[in-house]
């Protein structure tokens, strides 16, 4: 794994599931950051510790979202495949809302990323009520 690989985790509330996901990520050499709702207004690039991107002082106090979400930074295609294979091998349900950090989305906050991923998932699954 690249030394800069990072996984941002959102709303992984089941302790056993969270432990398995963390184990997979650590085994693959990735750093894990659990994002708390108060951080939802921060740029995801700052949360992923991109050099030069700073967190603001504003804390989120709204309802947020409850769906699991995962943002991956610094993964190659092969490493992404390894991660997804490990999920299957461990018989973990997939995280439906997942993305790779890009130059476009790194400026977004977690709520903007969530809305975009939810829209994409609904289009791909054909189910507007399922995220």
1 within a domain of the structure (yes/no): no
Using pLDDT thresholds of 50, 70 and 90, give the confidence band for residue 127.
Answer: low
DSSP 50: -
Number of structural domains found in the chain = 1
Using pLDDT thresholds of 50, 70 and 90, give the confidence band for residue 130.
Answer: very low
Length of the chain: 131
Helices (DSSP H) in 28-106: which residue ranges?
44-47, 77-89
114 within a domain of the structure (yes/no): yes
**pLDDT per residue over 12-47, tens digit each?**
999 999 999 999 999 999 999 999 999 999 999 999
Q: CB count, 10 Å around CB of 80?
A: 13
32 within a domain of the structure (yes/no): yes
Q: pTM (2 decimals)? A: 0.90
Segment 54-81 shows an average pLDDT of: 94
Range of the domain at 63: 6-125
Give residue 128's pLDDT: 58
130 within a domain of the structure (yes/no): no
131 within a domain of the structure (yes/no): no
Give residue 2's pLDDT: 57
Q: Does the pLDDT of residue 89 top 70, yes or no?
A: yes
Give residue 131's pLDDT: 40
């Amino acid at each position: 794994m690249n030394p800069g690989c990072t996984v941002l985790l959102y709303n992984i509330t089941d302790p056993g599931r969270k432990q398995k996901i963390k184990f997979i990520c650590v085994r693959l050499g990735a750093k894990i950051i659990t994002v708390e709702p108060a951080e939802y207004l921060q740029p995801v690039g700052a949360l992923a510790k991109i050099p030069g991107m700073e967190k603001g002082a504003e804390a989120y106090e709204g309802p947020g979202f409850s769906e699991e979400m995962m943002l991956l930074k610094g993964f190659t295609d092969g490493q992404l495949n390894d991660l997804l294979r490990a999920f299957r091998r461990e018989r973990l349900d997939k995280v439906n809302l997942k993305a790779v950090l890009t130059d476009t989305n790194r400026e977004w906050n977690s709520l903007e990323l969530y809305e975009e991923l939810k829209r994409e998932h609904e289009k791909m699954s054909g189910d507007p009520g399922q995220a």
